[in-house]
Amino acid sequence: MHRKNLRGKLERYRPEGEKEISDKARILDFLNLHGDCFERSLSVGHFTGSCWLENCDGMKFLMTLHRKTRFWLQLGGHADGDNDLVRVALREAHEESGLRNIELLSDEIFDVGVHLTPEYKGIPAHYHYDVRFLVKTTDRDDDIQASDESNDLKWFAEVSNSLLDISGDISRMFGKWKNYNRGKHI
């Protein structure tokens, strides 16, 4: 996915609610203003690719208890120079879950978000411009293995109190995922 392809996907994407509308606009502006927006070395922020990963029967989704933030988050990570955010999201899902068989359910954008990452070990606070995709594994639920970036991995069937959702992004993605699954079974 080249910059032009990402721009096209973002322009086609229809966000839900005021926060996501604002985040999409910020992401497009960031893409247009910074030639090095996929590089972690850009100190103001950079692109990340992540995914909403459903299990083999489509009844649960996988979250990671992120070591740095100590929040439950969707799987994903830094682009590190790769402008194909689908590839980034799939790579990060494999690395962070230990699952081998992960497939894209759609190459269109599932969700977007912009969030401030706090200072950590001398790296100044900066923004992550996150583009998210919907994926599925055909592996068994108990095949997951947490990476060193995670304190835990867990399958969830609902957004519960343990999923502290300060930004509202997880609840929004959960709602989209439930609607997607309803559409598959109609």
Q: Using the 8-state DSSP alphabet, how is residue 123 labeled?
A: B
More confident residue, 110 or 184: 110
Q: Where are the domains of the chain?
A: 3-184
More confident residue, 66 or 104: 104
Helix (H) or strand (E) holding 93: helix 85-97
CB 31 within 8 A of CB 127: no
At residue 99, does pLDDT exceed 50?
A: yes
The reported pLDDT for the residue numbered 97 is 96
Average pLDDT for 104-109: 95
pLDDT per position as a tens digit, 69-95? 788 899 999 999 999 999 999 999 999
At residue 1, does pLDDT exceed 60?
A: no
Lowest mean pLDDT among 33-42, 97-106, 123-132, 177-186: 177-186
At residue 186, does pLDDT exceed 60?
A: no
Distance set, CA 82 to CA 18, 89, 159, 168 (Å): 29, 11, 31, 28
Q: Take residue 16 and report the two structure tokens written for it.
A: 């839900």
At residue 185, does pLDDT exceed 70?
A: no
pLDDT per position as a tens digit, 53-68? 999 999 999 999 988 7
Beta strands in 34-88 (DSSP E): 45-54, 61-66, 72-73, 75-78
Q: Per CATH, which fold does 3-184 belong to?
A: Nucleoside Triphosphate Pyrophosphohydrolase (3.90.79)
CB 60 within 8 A of CB 141: yes
pLDDT per position as a tens digit, 118-170? 888 888 999 999 999 999 999 999 999 988 888 899 999 988 777 767 678 99
